[in-house]
Amino acid sequence: MADESETKITFRRGAPVKPEKIKGLFTGLALTLRTMLSKNQVVQYPHEKEVPVPRARGVIGLNEDNCTACMLCARECPDWCIYIEGHKEKRPPRREGGKPRTVQILNRFDIDYGLCMYCGICVEVCPFDALHWSPEYEYSELKVANLLHDKERLGHWETTKPAQPGYEKGSEMKGAKK
């Protein structure tokens, strides 16, 4: 918090209204005419599509191999729209004579996009890098029930994950250009 002496309090007071009478009307008319004659920037959706930014939170993709059914994402989700079921299986030990390994097998991984708030907490908390954002957005459905995406569908979204362009200068993030 700054001292009284440091604060440069500046004000801008309102100028009195200039009654422009007729002139204001004509400048407005000129502006609309200029707009009419200038080039249109509308993107007509089904025929042409805007490319969403790489960071856009469109849909969540699942990399099934990385997932260990640890349930962190399901627990951290603010509206609990992730449903995970898994079971444990014994696998032969890595080395001869070792103990048999226990692995988590993912049976079910569903995200209900009817509930999802697109906050991205699940992607962030995932310790094994199994969830990613993809900017795909065309998955509206006629039935709400179909918004429940199963792990095959989420696996498909994983393939649409774009490459990130890197960071602005001055960043100390991993992968930023020095």
Partner 1 sequence: MSPTPPVLAAQARASAHLADARMAIELETPEMTLNIGPQHPSTHGVFRIVAEVDGEKLLKADPVLGYMHRGYEKLAEVRTYPQITTLVNRIDWLSGYCNEIPFILGVERLMGIEAPPRAQYIRTILSELARISTFLVFLGSYGIELGALTPFFHTMRDREKVLDLIEGVTGGRFHPNFNRVGGVKDDLPAGFIDATRQVMNTVEDICKDVETLLFGNDIFQQRTTGVGLIPLEKGLAYGMSGANIRASGCAVDVRRDEPYLVYDDLEFDVVMDDRCDSYARAWCRLQETLQSVRIVRQCLDRLPAGKIMAKVPRIIQVPPGEVYTRAENPLGELGYHIISRGGRIPYRVKVRTPSFSNVSVLPWLLKDVWMADVITILGSLYFILGDVDR
Partner 2 sequence: MEKDWLDHGITILVVILIFTVQMLITTFLVLFERKFVAWMQVRIGPNRAGPWGLFQTVADALKLMVKEIFVPRGADRTIYMLAPFLTVFPAFMAFAILPIGPSFEFVHGDKTHVVAIQGANLNVGILWLLAMSSVAVYGVMLAGWASGSKYSLLGSVRASAQVISYEAALSLSILPVLLWTGTLDLQEIVAAQSGWNWYAFGLLLIPFVSFFISGMAETNRLPFDLVEAESELVAGFHTEYGGARFMFFFLAEYINIMTISAVAVTLFLGGWNGPWVPVQADPAGWQVALGVLYFFLKTFVLLFLFIWIRATLPRMRYDQLMSFGWKILIPVNLVFLMVLAGLVVMQEVGAWPAGFFR
60, 131 in Cβ contact below 8 A?
A: yes
- Transcribe 100-115 into DSSP letters: PEEEEEEEEEEEETTT
- Examine residue 33 and tell whether it contacts partner 2 (CB under 8 A): yes
Tokens of residue 39, six digits: 């080039």
- Of these, 41, 102, 140, 164, which contacts partner 2 (CB under 8 A)? 41
Q: How far apart are CA 133 and CA 158, in angstroms?
A: 8
- Of these, 93, 121, 141, 152, which contacts partner 1 (CB under 8 A)? 121
- Examine residue 28 and tell whether it contacts partner 2 (CB under 8 A): yes
Tally Cβ neighbours within 10 Å of residue 66.
Answer: 14
Please give the size of the binding site for partner 2, defined by CB under 8 A.
Answer: 12
Find, among 104, 79, 82, 80, the residue nearest to 91 by Cα: 104
- Examine residue 118 and tell whether it contacts partner 1 (CB under 8 A): yes
Kindly report the CA angle at 62 between 117 and 75, in degrees rounded to 5? 50
Q: Binding marks (x or -) toward partner 1, 147..176, rule CB under 8 A? A: -----------------xxxxxxxxxx--x
Q: Which does 105 bind (CB under 5 to 8 A by kind): partner 2, partner 1, none?
A: none
The residues in 84-113 that bind partner 1, with binding defined as CB under 8 A, are none
Q: Using CB under 8 A, list all residues that contact partner 1.
A: 1-2, 7-14, 17-25, 27-28, 31-32, 35, 41, 52-57, 76, 78, 117-121, 124, 133, 164-173, 176
